[in-house]
Structure 1
Amino acid sequence: MEISVTLLICVILPVFFIFLIRTSRFRRFRLPPGTYGLPFIGETLQLISAYKTENPEPFIDERVNRYGPIFTTHVFGEPTVFSADSETNRFILLNEGKLFDCSYPGSISNLLGKQSLLLMKGALHKRMHSLTMSFGNSSIIRDHLLVDIDRLIRLNLDSWSDRIFLMEEAKKMTFEVTMKQLMSIDPGEWTESLRKEYGHVIEGFFTLPLPLFSTTYRRAIKARTKVAEALSLMVRDRRRERESGDEKKKDMLGAMLASGDNFSDELIIDFLLALLVGGFETTSTIMTLAVKFLTETPLALAQLKEEHDQIRAKKSDPDAAVEWCDYKSMEFTQCVVNETLRVANIIGGIFRRTRTDINIKGYTIPKGWKVFASFRAVHLDPNNYKDSRTFNPWRWQNTAEAPSPGNTYTPFGGGPRLCPGYELARVVLSVFLHRLVTRFSWVPAEEDKLVFFPTTRTKKRYPIIVQRRKT
């Protein structure tokens, strides 16, 4: 009994003194209001559980109502300042690498890898971001990727039965498109096996990074190892092809191998792994929610169908490929895309770490603290958008209501870390909607309350009953 008490004291006292030291150090700062929650755990469990509810932003909503748009909490083992303020978010984005450094919870950084684009800094990040942008810009999509995007989407739609799980089908499509863009690989058993492992990796993002206590995180780590091994074999094969003079593929992997930077296999693998996550999970979620919102807004769906039927009517072949001029003529479609991105939020927010003490909005954020800029909270703020939580694509036809870019509308982030695949995501969603509404009609198969931001933990797959339209 005495030994147990002694051990308890040895554990508690150091923690207590560390807490006192931290408290005394931060007393001189005017920190944003808030609460740290439970010892060690903080409010991490509340944050994770919030994303399983039907409320689009319950964690931030509750604290904004109590403390205001900038508040302090403690998540993923660290004190963190959350911002639901558009001006503060813009300040954070524009001062990347100056006042703030990219920093994500261990569960995400461990699974993506130290050499992923999300975690790169300085000159290396600038180089790799530029390389990624060059393979997702308008000219590349128009001249090379559009034909594959349309082909792969049609191939998937051809396999649909009367009842499908839309989320799963969307993930399959986006994964295949991303694999083609990055490594010129067409769908097959290898890609399907890799996609299933990716599902396990993504499940681990919003868990505590403790393999001993979390079976989800432990499974994610194992899946990450399998994915890395598969990509490693691919990289080695492509290196051999290039050395023998057989390398002719014009894709992201080919560009990395052809550059004079001598990228290591580890860097290439982490880089590709993270890009596959970005192209696979986020875009498929947006595709699913676009269909959900349109289903619940019949007038918008009818106007969308009319626009795409007109595009089809101009073609002699009903199966003719979608061309760049078709994409550019989809005016109402872009309103639907904009509104889906606003309500659903392809990037919910970003984590950063302060490089120095920062004074903003009358508060001081200490050096070394984490901050989270919530884009979702800004998009859903009624002060920024009328009826902000209502899907209303027509708001984008009203120039008076349309927001200024980079201020209250940041679905792809901004600053030096603007999502390099933003244009590709818009094209994929537009082509998918075109093929969907011109070939099918559908109704929800059952009551399935799909949340605004469904994660893999929600198990919401959005089943629909589809019927092919007569041409």
Structure 2
Amino acid sequence: MAVFGYLWFPLVLCTVVFFFLIRATRRRRLRLPPGNLGLPFIGETLQLISAYKSENPEPFIDERVNRFGPIFTTHVFGEPTVFSADPETNRFILQNEGKLFECSYPASLSNLLGRHSLLLMKGNLHKRMHSLTMSFANSSIIKDHLLVDIDRLIRLNLDSWTGRVLLMEEAKKITFELTVKQLMSFDPCEWTESLRKEYVLVIEGFFTVALPIFSATYRRAIKARTKVAEALTLIVRQRRKESEAGERKKDMLGALLAGDDGFSDEQIVDFLLALLVAGYETTSTIMTLAVKFLTETPLALAQIKEEHDQIRAKKSEMEPLEWTDYKSMPFSQCVVNETLRVANIIGGIFRRSMTDINIKGYTIPKGWKVFASFRAVHLDHDHFKDARSFNPWRWQDNSGATSPGNVFTPFGGGPRLCPGYELARVELSVFLHHLVTRLSWVPAEEDKLVFFPTTRTQKRYPINVQRRNVSKLCKD
């Protein structure tokens, strides 16, 4: 038996060597984008993480673009990856979702979101669910149904702010409460706050090693995910009973239960869980960074205060904002655009090639990862004048964009365009309105941005707030 094993070992070794030789020969025949695969197995992952844990990750991109061009090969997170800092290539990747490319995310993210999440869905099911999500976050729905709750919940939260406030934490409470309300019609309560605390643990596990034995953070995230799923399952079962009895609410959960698709409880829970993450994490970060950038740009802060003071002067103190008010915030939209461009909450997207793909004179081999970097394009001086400075006035006449074409993609594009992009804009605009009309603030201490594993401030952006006299701004 031992002799048999000794005979098999050389055969297996030769087979493995032959496989890698064949693959290497094939790669040589292909014209891969230039680049550096770095160390064996590790690649350039450590350099990438080190750069993105700093306040200035741009050198990681700049050095490689200067050396290899806007499309280059690297090796990160265990796989060879083609990195694109080219807007045309990024657009090509986005538009060919499901044809030439398919979504591909780290195992930790996939496991925690669940296999039925919108992020991981493919084909016709993704199209249907994406369309359903957009139908609950379009302009007419926001105008007729959501705006009143957005205004009410933001005012309710800001009214409790006093003294020293951790802005990022408070913003996360706001966006979580808004998302729970929109998805399941829950107002803030002990249950929603308990759910939010578990969500924090889930999100912390997104970019960890997906092996519980090696990562305590991932273990905590898996346990928290189980608790969140159990809590949502109870709600889904209760609402299913109510729906069968003829009681129906006009929210996302109601639509999922009333549809003809016959979704299981597990499918609905995964779907809701992923939407809660999407609405909670990204929008709260945008809120925080908009305030940070405005605070560091006094002229912009003064101008946005003037815009919102004028809106409030036409209303009584407790009168909610209406759709016409939202539409009369032109400078606020400039601030929103510039915050999205500079902050790059979604720095880019990973995809996997479904076949050998020829683009820009190079070949991306089948099965390779690609990363379309929105951040690299948004902060490129060839596309935006003085690209790494916060300048909301550039959007007043689009004078800040120095090249034509679709170079501004904060919400992605193609079939996976973020379905909540308009809702995020409205929530941020309403938040800025009540913030600048009700409060004044100064930073409590210095804080800086980091970009790994997600974009955030290191200290959650502490500020000292004082209340403004809103009644002086309002009509009698």
TM range (shorter): over 0.9
Q: How far is 1:264 from its partner?
A: 1.4
Partner in structure 2 of residue 330 of structure 1? 329
Partner in structure 1 of residue 190 of structure 2? 189
Counting only pairs closer than 5 Å after superposition, residues 6-21 of structure 1 correspond to structure 2 as 19-21=20-22
Secondary structure (helix, strand or coil) at the match of 1:364 reads strand
Deviation track 1:68-118 (CA, whole Å, cap 9, x = no partner) reads 211111222221111010000001111111111111121211211111111
Change (3 A) 1:448 1:185: same
More divergent stretch after superposition (437-446 vs 192-201): 192-201
1:266 aligned to 2:244? no
Secondary structure (helix, strand or coil) at the match of 2:174 reads helix
Question: What letter matches 1:132 in structure 2?
Answer: T
Q: How far is 1:15 from its partner?
A: 6.8
Q: Unpaired segments of 5 or more residues in structure 1?
A: 1-5
Partner in structure 2 of residue 302 of structure 1? 302
Aligned partners of 2:349, 2:373: CA distance in 1, in Å? Answer: 7
Partner in structure 1 of residue 351 of structure 2? 352
Partner in structure 2 of residue 392 of structure 1? 391
Q: How far is 1:227 from its partner?
A: 1.2
Change (3 A) 1:95 1:406: farther
Using structure 1 for the length normalisation, give the TM-score.
0.93
Partner in structure 1 of residue 408 of structure 2? 409
Counting only pairs closer than 5 Å after superposition, residues 89-108 of structure 1 correspond to structure 2 as 89-108=90-109
Deviation track 1:240-293 (CA, whole Å, cap 9, x = no partner) reads 111222x23110010000001101112111111111111000001110000000
Aligned partners of 1:58, 1:199: CA distance in 2, in Å? Answer: 30
Question: What letter matches 1:85 in structure 2?
Answer: D
Change (3 A) 1:184 1:82: same
Aligned partners of 2:97, 2:245: CA distance in 1, in Å? Answer: 42
1:285 aligned to 2:281? no
Deviation track 1:130-150 (CA, whole Å, cap 9, x = no partner) reads 000000000000111001011
Change (3 A) 1:459 1:296: closer
Partner in structure 2 of residue 376 of structure 1? 375
Contact map agreement 1:200 1:223 (CA 8 A) in 2: yes
Change (3 A) 1:189 1:14: farther
Contact map agreement 2:285 2:456 (CA 8 A) in 1: no
Using structure 2 for the length normalisation, give the TM-score.
0.92
Aligned-residue CA RMSD in angstroms? 2.1
Q: How far is 1:199 from its partner?
A: 1.1
Change (3 A) 1:138 1:191: same
Aligned partners of 2:400, 2:455: CA distance in 1, in Å? Answer: 34
Q: How far is 1:194 from its partner?
A: 1.1
Secondary structure (helix, strand or coil) at the match of 1:65 reads helix
Partner in structure 2 of residue 3 of structure 1? none
Secondary structure (helix, strand or coil) at the match of 2:29 reads coil
Deviation track 1:11-59 (CA, whole Å, cap 9, x = no partner) reads 9988766544432221111111122223223223333333211014443
Contact map agreement 1:51 1:455 (CA 8 A) in 2: no
Question: What letter matches 1:260 in structure 2?
Answer: D
More divergent stretch after superposition (424-433 vs 260-269): 260-269
Question: What letter matches 2:449 in structure 1?
Answer: L
Contact map agreement 1:203 1:457 (CA 8 A) in 2: no
Aligned partners of 2:453, 2:392: CA distance in 1, in Å? Answer: 21
Change (3 A) 1:49 1:64: same
Deviation track 1:357-400 (CA, whole Å, cap 9, x = no partner) reads 11111110011111110111100011000110100000001234
Aligned partners of 1:284, 1:314: CA distance in 2, in Å? Answer: 28
Aligned partners of 2:176, 2:243: CA distance in 1, in Å? Answer: 25
Partner in structure 1 of residue 122 of structure 2? 121
More divergent stretch after superposition (15-24 vs 344-353): 15-24
Secondary structure (helix, strand or coil) at the match of 2:99 reads coil
Change (3 A) 1:94 1:323: same
Aligned partners of 2:99, 2:364: CA distance in 1, in Å? Answer: 15
1:234 aligned to 2:253? no
Partner in structure 1 of residue 249 of structure 2? 249
Q: How far is 1:62 from its partner?
A: 3.2
1:87 aligned to 2:88? yes
Secondary structure (helix, strand or coil) at the match of 2:193 reads helix
Aligned partners of 1:456, 1:409: CA distance in 2, in Å? Answer: 18
Change (3 A) 1:104 1:220: same
Partner in structure 1 of residue 3 of structure 2? none
Q: How many residues align?
A: 462
Counting only pairs closer than 5 Å after superposition, residues 33-72 of structure 1 correspond to structure 2 as 33-72=34-73
Change (3 A) 1:108 1:405: farther
Question: What letter matches 1:99 in structure 2?
Answer: L
Partner in structure 1 of residue 439 of structure 2? 440
Partner in structure 1 of residue 172 of structure 2? 171
Aligned partners of 1:240, 1:35: CA distance in 2, in Å? Answer: 57
More divergent stretch after superposition (204-213 vs 192-201): 204-213
